């Protein structure tokens, strides 16, 4: 609560709302009509849906009700996987995200080189995931962290996905 407002400590919780963070494999939204006529997806906005929903709804409602208005759509639900990172940048970002989350959740490592050992251990874990998946493109850190947390569940699923889906776009991969 202190990240939002330091004075909030005296506040009271009146209601709790629970929801999802719908996310696609490449972490980009799935927006538009499917190849099955009149079936539309407007999902996968992950953490941005609340802020993006007015613009998304307005844009796609016009296309939905006026079939003559075709939308040029980079985030079509039946698109190729979008990779925007190099493999190396993906590994570095995943390490940074994972370690930062550890400190957010009160992780305390001894100050005698353990932070370096922890980082090396996590780097090896990420490289094993890449090797197991057999991909050489940059994967989103959120996807890799999901696999790290539950490899028995997620690794077979994503391995099958990348084995069967050789189609992907590399879009302005960062160094």
Calculate the dihedral angle through the C-alpha atoms of 23, 27, 32, 38, rounding to the nearest 10 degrees: -40
In 13-106, the DSSP E strands lie at: 30-33, 40-43, 81-85
Q: Which residues contact 90 (CB under 8 A, 6 or more apart)?
A: 138, 139, 140, 141, 144
Nearest-Å Rg of the Cα atoms of the chain is 20
The pTM (predicted TM-score) of the whole model is 0.74
Residue 15: predicted pLDDT: 81
Residue 85: predicted pLDDT: 92
Mean pLDDT by 10 residues, the chain (175 residues): 66 76 90 88 87 88 78 84 93 94 87 89 96 92 93 92 69 50
How many helices (DSSP H) and strands (DSSP E) are in the chain?
A: 5, 4
Residue 51: predicted pLDDT: 87
Question: Any idea where the domains of the chain sit in the sequence?
Answer: 1-79, 81-174
Structure tokens at 95: 């390490």
Calculate the dihedral angle through the C-alpha atoms of 154, 155, 156, 159, rounding to the nearest 10 degrees: 120
Residue 166: predicted pLDDT: 57
């Amino acid at each position: 609560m202190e990240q939002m407002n330091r004075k909030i400590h005296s506040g009271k919780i009146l209601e709790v709302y629970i929801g999802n963070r719908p996310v696609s494999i490449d972490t980009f939204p799935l927006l538009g009509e499917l190849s099955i006529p009149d079936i539309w997806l407007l999902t996968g906005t992950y953490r941005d849906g609340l802020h993006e929903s007015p613009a998304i709804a307005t844009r796609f409602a016009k296309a939905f009700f006026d079939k003559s208005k075709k939308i040029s759509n980079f985030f079509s639900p039946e698109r190729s996987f979008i990779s925007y990172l190099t493999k190396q940048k993906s590994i570095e970002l995943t390490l940074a995200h994972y370690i930062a989350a550890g400190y957010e959740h009160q992780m305390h490592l001894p100050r005698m080189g353990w932070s370096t050992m922890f980082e090396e251990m996590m780097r090896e874990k990420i490289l094993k995931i890449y090797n197991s998946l057999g991909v050489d493109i940059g994967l989103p850190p959120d996807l890799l962290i999901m696999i790290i947390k539950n490899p028995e569940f997620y690794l077979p699923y994503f391995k099958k996905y990348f084995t069967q889906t050789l189609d992907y776009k590399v879009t302005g991969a960062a160094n």
